[in-house]
Amino acid sequence: MHDHDHEEYDECCTEIPEASVGQPVVDFSLKVYDPEEGFFGEMDMEKLMEDGKWVILFFYPADFTFVCPTELADLAAKHEELKKLGFEVFSVSTDTEFAHLAWRNSERLLENVKYKMAADPTGKVSRYFGVYDEESGLALRGTFIINPDGVLVSKEINFYNVGRNADELLRKCQANVYLREHPAEACPAKWTPGDKTLTPSEQLVGKVYEALS
């Protein structure tokens, strides 16, 4: 057991429960294509936690499809802001890292993608995060935020035909980073940096309107 209380996710483990919000995720690793460096490598959750990183896993169905490049391009537009918040961003599909390289370098919508593109060809990690479609062998559109303690703090899963919004992902990341630094507070709907927060207490019951006014 590691000091961040992860379970080891190895080949012998067949009864690992699905990742749950509020719980530590298991250790896992994936092969990646790194567009910024132009080489193949590996993402390792244990190493990311040791480095104090926040992590975004951005699952999508497949390379060389239609909605997917629009989503990855949208995410790429927010990548620098996410990096400044301390996030490592990984797109993930059940394609290989070799397919990622070919797609990244042929689809013009992806020319600004600098985050690592992770490969889950066995579907093992996709199953763990609850996005694997057994019928198609593809991953649904799932977005997961993991804090530097290795705890899953947010998940969003869409079906194949609905693309996501990186503006909202950035907002959720900003809120989670703020709340890690201010654990006694809570962020109301549509909160963005600089807005009022809430401090739950007996005095707040029935008085949220006044607190936000």
For the annotated catalytic residues, the residue numbers are: 68
164 neighbors 143 (Cβ within 8 angstroms) = yes
What is the C-alpha separation between 16 and 93, in angstroms, rounded? 21
167 neighbors 82 (Cβ within 8 angstroms) = no
SS3 14: coil
What is the C-alpha separation between 144 and 152, in angstroms, rounded? 7
What is the C-alpha separation between 42 and 119, in angstroms, rounded? 9
